[in-house]
Amino acid sequence: MSAALPYWRLSGFYFFYFALLGGTAPFLALYFDHLGFSPARIGELIAIPMLMRCLAPNLWGWLGDHTGQRLLIVRFGALCTLVCFAGIFFSQSYAWLALIMATHAFFWHAVLPQFEVITLAHLREQAARYSQIRLWGSIGFIVAVVGLGLLFEWLSLDAYPAALLVIMAGIVVSSFWVPNAQSVLRPNTLEPEGFLRQLRRPGILAFYISVGLMQLSNGPYYTFLTLHLEGVGYSRGAIGLFWALGVVAEILLFLVMARLLQRYSLRAVLLASFLITAVRWLLLGNLPQYLPVLLLAQCMHAATFGAFHAACIHFVQRSFADHQQGQAQALYVSLAGIGGALGALYAGYSWKSLGPAWTFAIASLVALLAAFIIATRLPPERP
């Protein structure tokens, strides 16, 4: 790494940010189940933060592009996330929890799109090394998911909110440790036109639609995988390790992502990610009780998230001008939020009525639809 690159400061922020995701994705549904909510109510509560991703990133992205104060937005969002979530100690009623989910997520989802722009501004011409910084987010996820999985075998899930607040405090502290950076204007290979006109360029809308569909297909995984695996006999500690295995595969992918993107087009990487994801959901829905199948399915997380996310970040950076990066990254997060919210809702309603196998089968079909869109609507890249 370049001596001028604040590698550990950037990496530290990703560590804590995605540690919070590691604390929520596997365990939030488990906590709501512990409080006595039905699958439908659990799906609704988990959909609320994802719906905030439809509104918050675009508002904060517009503000970041027009003020240039991206780091201030990151710090403000991190602090407000902590303060809003602390309200969970006052009540555990459905209405109050829905309010907590909405308010803390409104600020949490302000943070990452702006921080991605700051990271790429620090990297400058080293953008291909993004994955080497981002992998620390994956490490943070692993530490949280394994640590909390073991913790909740020893302690009651009543300790869950306090554990999340500790992680949120880490996000706040790390945000104040990161130095600011402004994007250096690249040679203008894009026409000087508005953001909406850029969206109408060939393949751009197809890309964003596929992002939403990918997150829609992730709905059963992020909402009910832990409960699903508990139902077939795995312990919470083991489930934490299974979640961690997926992220280890993701990290290994990040380490070679720069070379993959030099060898293969973004279109090819995205298409492969969707096809592998479709197979993964069928395995998790039908055969999780067989340990070798479950291990293989979790290793496929390298494609479902790792290759997909890294390719998306590079696609957005290449497709939009510098002054549009905040809005473009925010739209990426928003479409992911819309898809994720719809995925959580349909999973919540179908889990009891259709069962896990059919719920994951629907997710597989959605991933195949996204693959079809990428194959037919995303034009080949120019040399």
Tens of pLDDT, residue by residue over 41-53, are: 999 999 999 888 7
The pLDDT of residue 68 is: 85
Tens of pLDDT, residue by residue over 15-26, are: 999 999 999 989
Q: How far apart are CA 29 and CA 45, in angstroms?
A: 9
The pLDDT of residue 193 is: 58
For residue 142 the two structure tokens come to 């692993």
Contact 303, 272 (CB under 8 A): yes
| R_g of the chain computed on alpha carbons | 20
CB neighbours of residue 159 within 10 Å:
13
Find the DSSP H helices in the chain.
7-24, 28-34, 39-67, 70-85, 94-123, 130-154, 160-175, 195-199, 204-217, 219-231, 236-263, 266-286, 291-299, 301, 308-319, 325-353, 356-377
Domains and CATH numbers, the chain: 1-179 (1.20.1250.20), 192-382 (1.20.1250.20)
Contacts of 376 (CB under 8 A, 6+ apart): none
The pLDDT of residue 278 is: 98
Q: How far apart are CA 130 and CA 312, in angstroms?
A: 12
Q: How far apart are CA 183 and CA 123, in angstroms?
A: 9
pTM: 0.84
Contact 220, 356 (CB under 8 A): yes
pLDDT at 381 over 80: no
Q: How far apart are CA 370 and CA 110, in angstroms?
A: 26
Contact 310, 134 (CB under 8 A): yes
pLDDT at 130 over 90: no
Contact 143, 19 (CB under 8 A): yes
Q: How far apart are CA 380 and CA 86, in angstroms?
A: 48
Tens of pLDDT, residue by residue over 316-361, are: 888 888 778 777 877 887 888 899 999 999 999 999 999 999 999 9
**DSSP label of 4:** T
The pLDDT of residue 198 is: 78
Q: How far apart are CA 211 and CA 328, in angstroms?
A: 13
Q: Exposed/middle/buried for 370, CB within 10 Å: 0-12, 13-18, 19+?
A: buried
Q: Indicate the length of the chain as a whole number.
A: 383
Residue 185 pLDDT level (bands cut at 50, 70, 90): low
CB neighbours of residue 125 within 10 Å:
9
Dump strand ranges (E) for the chain.
none
**DSSP label of 305:** I
Q: Residue 242 to residues 5, 32, 245, 251: CA-CA distances in angstroms?
A: 34, 21, 5, 14
Q: How far apart are CA 114 and CA 332, in angstroms?
A: 12
